[in-house]
Structure 1
Amino acid sequence: MASSSSFAHVNNKCNQPAATAAPPPPPAAAHAHGHAPVSGSSLTLGDLIGLQLDRLNLNDLHYKDELQLLLLLAPAQRQKLPPYDKDKEQEEHEHRDKDEAPLSRPENGEVEDDLIGAVGGLSISPTVTATATREPLVDFRTHVLKWFQRLREQTAHFKSEEESRRMREAGNDLYRKERHSLKASDLFTEAIFLAPARNSLAAALAHANRSLVLYDCGMYSESYDDCLCALDLGYPEEYLPLIKLRQAACALKLRNFALCEEHLHELLHIAELNEVFESRTHELWHQCEVLKVERFEMAVQTGDDLQTNDTKAFEIAWMDNRSSLQTTRALSKNALIFESEAVAMVPSGNCRVCDNCGISQFIPFPCIYCSNRLVVYCSRQCRFKHAPIHALECFGHQIELFESFGEVFGMPRLLQLAFRMLVSGLPELLSHCRKKPTMNKLWGAINGALLDRQDIAYCSVLRMEQLHEEKTSRTLLALALASHVLAIYLSKCTTFFDQLEHSLPTASRLSNGEWELLCAALLLRHIGQLRHKSLIRCRSFVLPADPHIFSPYQEFQLWAAPNRLQEGHLHLLAGEVAVVSYAVYSETMSLCRHSCSSTICSKFSGRKLTALALMDLPSGSGIYNCFATGNDHQMSREERHIQLKSRGIDCNCTSCQISQADEQFHKFHRYRCDNSKCMEIFVPNALHNAPNLRWWLSEDYTQPEHNGAELIMCPHCGEAQKLEWFWAFQTALIDCELIEERCKLYAAIERSENQLMDLHECKVVLARLLLEQCLMVHREGATVLDDWEFNKLGSIMRAALPNVVSQYGSQSIEYVKHFAYFWDVMALSTYKCNDRELMQMLNALEFIADEYKDIFINYYEDYIAPKFAEESYGSIVDTQV
């Protein structure tokens, strides 16, 4: 499991702010009106969009749909940008190296006179031909292509054959001397990432070496895939028997006897096979024959023995001319409502995610051509399945196109997700067009007859609601221009438009300009859908980014074996929760109505979404989901409404309509005044620079210079709360290697009980910080904690867990995140919880991603279950939720 999901392995550029519900800030124009324009060679994406926006008059833009908006933008694109020097442009073109061309496919040399109304095209409207309006201008399209070229030049140095060789040799030395397979695998993985595409031998050798250490780890499927990768990339023929022998051994371990025999046949037919390889070949052949004889058929349960219910638990209903979901039968708490696969998904950039299946714990198989490290797969099979989409994105990843959008909008993944929605769905839609279409007819069909088709998956995407702005904003226009940039990319850097032509009837043909216009309009529509409620954030665990805990090549320290953590390390794997991917579920989650008090619990496992009932639901009741980042227990009504308004959602749910709408939220933020003459219980007013009253997350409140500052005021007596226990805790936390300082920490938490009332959220924060630091001290050997201290830590976290359940629920990933600390305490000491508490924790594992559930189960079996052996816990595989 080394190299699974560290921040350190991802390019810094990929860690731009992820997609958010709020509309993106409009890109600032690079130059104010009247300033000299920037030269074409130095224009950034922000400059390109900013210059175009400066020439637009929002009051003159009246349109009814996305296509018409893009048509209206066309005249603005003809305004002169930087002065055009024809001789200089021709000279640059003649001396440009063909290898440095910004296109991933060669130009056909045709002059694009067919740009009819395309954004940045050479014509004003469909009624004026391009020939009649040709001017010697460096237009928007030309600047975009130059920008592509500049991106390619900037990213050309990301790979290094010398660095790849150095990492591979370091892995070889480590494996020979220490026999540390997981650490060596980390180094070989880094060698694969660094190997340049122009010399695939470096990558082939790294894959071959990694296959050996993965075989030693028992990861036979991944080892076999590495062998295939090595062969594909030109592994030296003189070493072919070594690879074939390993393939046969992996196939035997995987019980694929036919494949094993195939590789053994290949070995026996290799000329001049030495005695060692020949002997090993016959040995494997004998083992294969023995296992084939011992093989027996497993008993298979028949369909009659299974209790099944084929009736769907939900149906699509119509309310207020909008679709929604409602139950078709009565459902009990935790009952399955629906399961669905994402129609499109992109990684968030917070950790390594398989670009195809969406899992986050795996040995990465990257695309050798891509320069950034977000494009990885968990197997060759996933890489093959994703190939049709990746073929269109590969050059974009080479020049970090999608990351560049983050510099302007702060949400590069949203634009990439819209891109995937288009390229995966439009070809399917066009295959159903029987008559010769024109661009206008296609657009009319997309908005009309095709919209109701139930047999076309892309139609369910087109039907999704989108954000409608009352007035045209600079944000919307900036997104329209960004959509056209992506359309230009599809036209000039991919073969996507050729694929679209093949999807249409033989006699049909649209010009590149028409395809650009149509695709840009659809991209803008998908962006509007994602800015509404169709963007679903898939949350899971990620490794911490703190380099004090992990350096880029030390993730191996977590693992005792694949999928098995070392004792006391569970909180490092599960201590951070973040959005790992963004997905679209057009036929399920996107159809749910919003409520700040959700009726479903969502489990994300890769691309798969499982929705379970949070409560008993009668037949015909609505299925509601909270589309804010927190429900009525986790966010105030004002904060929720700000988020929802930015997504075009007007919330009128019951939780927001009651007179005390923030009552559920406030019970996690109640204080007792520390003025001995007052002692009243209160909830503070809104705190400056501390959203949702969480002042302990803001540096404006937690820096040492604020010790004793007037942070929280009692509304009853007007006294500032001293919070002496908090400042004592913060000071002692710095030197917690000393027992004296740890005793101060325990005392500070005890004193906080006098001021933090009942379920206060800060209690959970303090407990987590305490355990995090104390476990780190114990793990690094600076101080070995004794049973008394472990009992103290266990009691503190045990007392905090009911607060987490009250605020987030026992079916939440937050609950699992916090009891991971508790399990580490139990694994390292004799401290135990009671039966009911343990079973609640085990049941909560059903609500996290499957790959993490397996790791938690293994951790339980290795370190927790033996402590309860006398109580007959045994295996939790049979645990029912």
Structure 2
Amino acid sequence: MASSSSSARVNNKATSSAPPAAAAASFSSAPVPSLGDLIGHQLRQLKLEELHYTDELQFIQILTPVKRQKLNREADGDVQKDGCNGGGDTVVALAPLSRPEYGGEEDDDLIGAVGGFSVSSPTSTPATTTTKEPLLDFRTHVLKWFQNLRHQTGHFKSEEESRRLREAGNDSYRKEKHPLKASDLFTEAIFLAPARNTLAAALAHANRSLVLYDCGLYAESYDDCLCSLDLGFPEEYLPLIKLRQAACALKLRNFTLCEEHLHELLHIELNQVFETRTHELWHQCEVLKVERFEMAVQTGDDLETNDMKAFEIAWLDNSSSLHSTRALARNSLIFESEAVAMVPSGNCRVCDCCGITQFIPFPCIYCSNRLVVYCSRQCRFKHAAIHAVECFGHQIELFESFGEVFGMPRLLQLALRLLITGLPEMLAHCRKKPTLSKLWSCINGALLERQDIGYSSVLRLERLEEEHSSETLISLALAAHILAIYLSKCTTFFDQLEKSLPSASRMSSAEWELLCAALLMRHISQLRHRSLTHCRSFVLPTDPHVFSPLNEFQLWAAPMRLQEGHLHLLAGEVAVVAYAVYPETLSLCRHSCSSTICSKFSGRKLTALALLDLPAGSGIYNCFASGNYQQLRQGERSKELEEHGIKCYCSACQLSHTDDQFYKFHRYRCDNPKCMEIFTPHALPHAPNLRWWLSEEYTQPEYNGAELIVCPHCDQAQKLEWFWSFNTSLIDCELIEERCKLYAAIERAESQLMELHECKVALARLLLEQCLMVHREGATVLDDWEFNKLGSIMRAVLPAVVAQYGGQSIEYVQYFAYFWDVMALSNYKCNDRELMQMLNALEFIADEFKDIFINYYEDYISPKYAEKSYGSVVDTQV
């Protein structure tokens, strides 16, 4: 996947020029063309300068010029129950193929695991057809491509490997007495279990339910029991599962559900052990019911509330923006909203429904890549309607295949979700018999202005307007067409659309396909502008779906509670975890490189807080670049924003010296004793952001002594001896001698790097990362002197992080996580003011991570602050 700042693009190999005749010959000779071949073939048949259109529907019609309303059903390959299409043509019904792993058997009735049908082979065209239209050729090869994807996927699953991991989990639980490790092994067994034989997954779910019960995760344990029963858990062991369900329900204080399962057990022939345990649970349930009492709850009338909306939508130059309706104080709430659509980025494991990242995963058993996971059966049920449309796409790894051609394949999946969640809602408001042209006019007219239709707010979003058709634009339009074909041939989505219409009329499948392709093209243009929101959070350095490969279970002392000194491993990486759309809030903010809001992402929920005091009527601005005026130079921001169709005229970009705020984090003192001037290098090869310490072109040993940075005052290359010494000693930091060299290198760097320099922050993080690893693995146990040294080094650079990213940023939390580990492992401390600033910053990270940080503080830091001897520690000078 491309970086989060890159726009959708097409690989050069997909659009390389070739003679038309040769290209056509090679294309037709290939039995199954790739996606790049499909798009490249269509591009070679088009002349960009001759494409003129007014809207997305006309654009799709130009790219696919066949009159779809006249295509008969036999050529279209659709299934008609009544035997005729909208024009009265007789058709032959084609039965869809079954899922590849089921061999024609009926699908199990699993909530959230209902996939689409696989594709049917296209039938031959009627004898009356004398010419082969480009559209039919394109559709035929798209369907062949779908079939090829179907036969290439689903090979990583193994029943034998799942059984092996399940047995390893049993050993970890019974012999090693390590339930967290056992849970991870059972989770991996679930991911590797094949869908054609669900018994392996059923047994893994059952085993994991026992471990989760022992860990106190009763809701997850109960869900595992239900999954096990759904997947065919053996009947002879049914009392075991029912007993565990009753115990979980009792722990959750759901007495009715507990009694229901106990009644089921009483109707089953039980051995003496199970019968005794059943009566024990019944007695405990009766006792708890008697002890139950009602608690007094403070009502809303007792609380001081302010229901006045903090923002309103204003219109300027035919575009909308947000303005404050009243004066807002710094850190006050401006708006909260839920994403209308969201897709995981692929960087970590994310619940496909609610968007949280820390949970016990429940995967869809049918998806071949097991990318779709949920935190509970409840989320799986809520997401069932969407996943029913996408499931077959995940079975053939359709969305991953787009990544071979496009820089941001998740953008296409997000556009698809906007369509499948919004279009049925809008069609419910159509009253007359629709035709394609009337429905399109209505979508762009009366329905567009409806405030009671959520999908209308999506359609009103601004789009990326391109003056001329480009290969990227056409390629995305063809991708939208491919997704429309997928909806037509691999899902029952068009049948759902027909049911959404209140009238008895019926549009042809070809018309639905054309309408959906046009709407998908619109959503892609909106997401390429500023409607695509990058939701950032902490990312664990592990496999996105299971934790066993890197032994992440070793992080945890208990659920949501980390081992001492392991906090920096949880917060070590920050990345985009999901892409979302907020059409009525964040997407309506104007751009400014000096944002006035701080966005907190917690699952699907977005919370925007004021970064500064805002008077009534002031604009609410958000920075849509990957960095603000302190993190990126103006030229780099402008280039990035132009890709999204945004031209910035904010105050930060209008200054005469626009990059001064950026350069203050990259100031050096010349190491020439005769010069000693302070300077900022305005350009460095191979380091566009001046962060040369991140580039391999500068950090390799062969560059030691090279002229990397040159002082503009004396034209002398900087020696950077402290940097090369630091890199050399970092390799062997398990030795006390090498660690002392590291501390000395940090001290020497202080004389050349100015106080807010980014490199100082990067070196401090590398130092603590390596030293904490050495201490954690037991190679060397650091003493109080070294911990005090490390604490002073990290404490000294935290103000630079606050200055560049802000005290409400996730980067600040990321860096002080290292500082908290030092305080947890030693007697080092900070003052109360610094500690309160850190605790306040936790309000700006996802709720599940906030809870983990609070638990860590209460377990390891707060008790030490209560000790009298803890306050006598003096900082060690660096």
Letter of the 1:240 counterpart? L
Residue 173 (str. 1) matches residue 162 (str. 2):
no
Matches of 1:296 and 1:175, distance apart in 2: 37
CA–CA distance in structure 1, aligned partners of residues 764 and 664 of structure 2: 19
What's the CA shift for 1:107? 7.4
The answer to whether structure 1 residue 59 and structure 2 residue 49 are counterparts is yes
> Is 1:18–1:349's contact at 8 Å kept on the other side of the alignment?
no
| Equivalent residues of 1:26, 1:474 under 8 A apart | no
1:739 aligned residue (718, 733, 736): 736
Closer, same or farther in 2 for the Cα pair 1:31/1:392, shift >3 Å? Answer: same
Contact in 1 for aligned 2:118/2:392 (Cα 8 Å): no
Look up the match of 1:73.
63
Tell me, yes or no, if structure 1 residue 768 matches structure 2 residue 730.
no
Could you tell me the TM-score, scaled by structure 1's length?
Answer: 0.91
Pair 42,283 (structure 1): closer, same or farther in 2 beyond 3 Å:
same
**Secondary structure of the equivalent of 1:407?**
coil
Q: Name the stretch that deviates more: 613-622 or 682-691.
A: 682-691
Alignment correspondent of 2:405: 408
Alignment of 1:299-698 (within 5 A): 299-545=296-542, 552=549, 554-698=551-695
Change (3 A) 1:106 1:327: closer
**What letter matches 2:153 in structure 1?**
T
1:278 alignment counterpart: 275
- Give the match's secondary structure for 1:159: coil
One-letter amino acid matched to 2:462? E
SS in 2 for 1:691: coil
**1:219 aligned onto 2:217:** yes
Structure 1 distance, partners of 2:133, 2:352, is 43
- Identify the range of structure 1 (293-302 vs 505-514) with the bigger mean alpha-carbon deviation: 505-514
CA 406–20 in structure 1, closer or farther in 2 if over 3 Å, else same? farther
The answer to whether structure 1 residue 194 and structure 2 residue 172 are counterparts is: no
Question: Whole-Å Cα distance in 2 between the matches of residues 568 and 619 of structure 1?
Answer: 46
Cα distance per residue 1:128-165 (max 9 Å; x no partner)? x9957556997111111111111111113121111111
8 Å contact from structure 2 (residues 14, 405) kept in 1:
no
Q: Which residue of 1 aligns with 2:149?
A: 151
Q: Indicate the RMSD between aligned Cα atoms, in angstroms.
A: 2.4
Give the conservation status (yes or no) of the 8 Å contact 1:563–1:854: yes
CA deviations on 1:475-533 (whole Å, 9 max, x unpaired) are: 00000000001000000000000001111133221111111111011111101001000
Distance in 1, matches of 2:387 and 2:778, equals 46
**Residues 542-588 of structure 1 deviation map (CA, whole Å, 9 limit, x = unaligned):** 112599x9861511100000000000000000011000000000000
Residue 81 (structure 1) aligns with: none
Q: Which residue of 1 aligns with 2:227?
A: 229
CA contact (8 A) 1:77 1:140 kept: no
Instruction: Return the letter of the residue paired with 1:188.
Output: F
Is 1:752 matched with 2:737? Answer: no
Q: Once the two structures are superposed, what CA deviation does each residue of 1:111-132 show, in whole Å capped at 9, x if it has no partner?
A: 798xxxxxxxx9xxxxxx9957
Match of 1:84 in 2: none
Letter in 2 for 1:540: S
8 Å Cα contact 1:637/1:662 also seen in 2: yes
1:546/1:789 Cα in 2 relative to 1: closer, same or farther (>3 Å)? farther
Question: Which residue pairs with 1:37 in the alignment?
Answer: 26
3-state SS of 2:26 partner: coil
Matched, 1:869 2:866: yes
* 1:20 to partner: Cα distance: 3.8
User: In 1, distance between residues paired with 2:196 and 2:555?
Assistant: 35
Q: Tell me the distance in 1 between the aligned counterparts of 2:768 and 2:185.
A: 31
Per-residue Cα deviation, 1:336-380 (whole angstroms, up to 9, x for no partner): 000000000000000000000000000000000011132000000
Q: 1:860 aligns with which of 857, 861, 877?
A: 857
Range with bigger deviation, 136-145 or 664-673: 136-145
Matching residue's letter, 2:13: A
Report the AA paired with residue 433 of structure 2. Answer: K
Question: Partner of 1:537: helix, strand, or coil?
Answer: strand
1:41 is matched by which residue type in structure 2?
A: P
Write the distance in 2 (CA, Å) between the matches of 1:826 and 1:244.
46
Q: What TM-score, normalized to structure 2?
A: 0.91
* Residue from 89, 97, 105 that aligns with 2:117: 105
| Cα-to-partner distance string for 1:732-780 (whole Å, 9 max, x where unaligned) | 1011011111011000010001110120111100000000000000001
Change (3 A) 1:596 1:561: same
- Aligned partners of 1:618 and 1:98: how far apart in 2? 61
Q: How much has 1:304 moved relative to structure 2?
A: 1.6
Contact 1:164–1:195 (CA<8 Å) still a contact in 2?
Answer: yes
**Structure-2 separation of matches of 1:184 and 1:105:** 36
SS in 1 for 2:366: coil
Match of 1:846 among 843, 846, 855: 843
Per-residue CA deviations over 1:31-69 (Å, capped at 9, x if unaligned) read: 642234143423110111011111110011001111111
Asked if 1:289 is matched to 2:286, the reply is yes
Maintained 8 Å contact 2:464/2:528 = yes
Aligned-pair distance for 1:207?
A: 0.3
**How far apart, CA to CA, are the structure 1 residues paired with 2:257 and 2:136?**
59
Match of 1:263 in 2: 261
- Distance change in 2, residues 1:609/1:871 (3 Å): farther
Report how many aligned residue pairs link the two structures: 826
Q: Give me the whole-angstrom Cα distance separating, in 2, the residues matched to 1:137 and 1:583.
A: 33
- Answer whether contact 2:590 2:622 (CA < 8 A) is retained: yes
2:61 alignment partner AA: L
CA distance in 1, matches of 2:174, 2:547: 24
1:446-473 deviations in Å (ceiling 9; x for gaps)? 1111111000000000000010011110
Q: CA distance change for structure 1 residues 299 and 136 in 2, over 3 Å: closer, same or farther? A: closer
Residues 560 and 852 in structure 2, CA contact (< 8 A), matched pair in contact too? yes
The residue correspondences of 1:109-128 to structure 2 (distance < 5 A) are: none
Contact 2:43 2:471 in 1 (8 A): yes
Match of 1:724 in 2: 721
Q: CA deviation at 1:293?
A: 1.3
What residue in structure 2 maps to residue 119 of structure 1? none
Deviation at 1:176, TM superposition (A): 1.3
Paired residue type of 2:14: A
Structure 2 letter corresponding to 1:410: G
SS of equivalent residue, structure 1 residue 524? helix
| Residue in 1 that maps onto 2:108 | none
2:249 is aligned to 251
Partner Cα distance (1:834, 1:420) in 2: 49
Contact kept, 8 Å, 1:497 with 1:512, in 2: the verdict is yes
1:47 aligns with 37
Give the letter for the 1:336 counterpart. L
Residue 829 (structure 2) aligns with: 832
Report the equivalent of 2:139.
141
Q: Distance in 2 between matches of 1:534 and 1:107?
A: 33
Q: Which runs of 5+ in 1 are unaligned?
A: 1-15, 79-93, 114-121, 123-128, 874-881
Letter in 1 for 2:839: L
Supply the AA of the counterpart residue of 2:490: C
Using the TM superposition, give the Cα deviation of residue 17 of structure 1 relative to its aligned residue in structure 2, in angstroms. 2.6
**Structure 1 residues 110 and 371, CA gap change in structure 2 (3 angstroms):** closer
Give the unaligned 5+ runs of structure 2.
Answer: 69-93, 105-114, 871-878
Per the alignment, in what secondary structure is the counterpart of residue 611 of structure 1? strand
Q: How far does residue 826 in structure 1 lie from its aligned partner after superposition?
A: 0.4
Cα deviation code 1:601-623 (max 9, x no counterpart): 00000000000000000000000
Partner of 1:714: 711
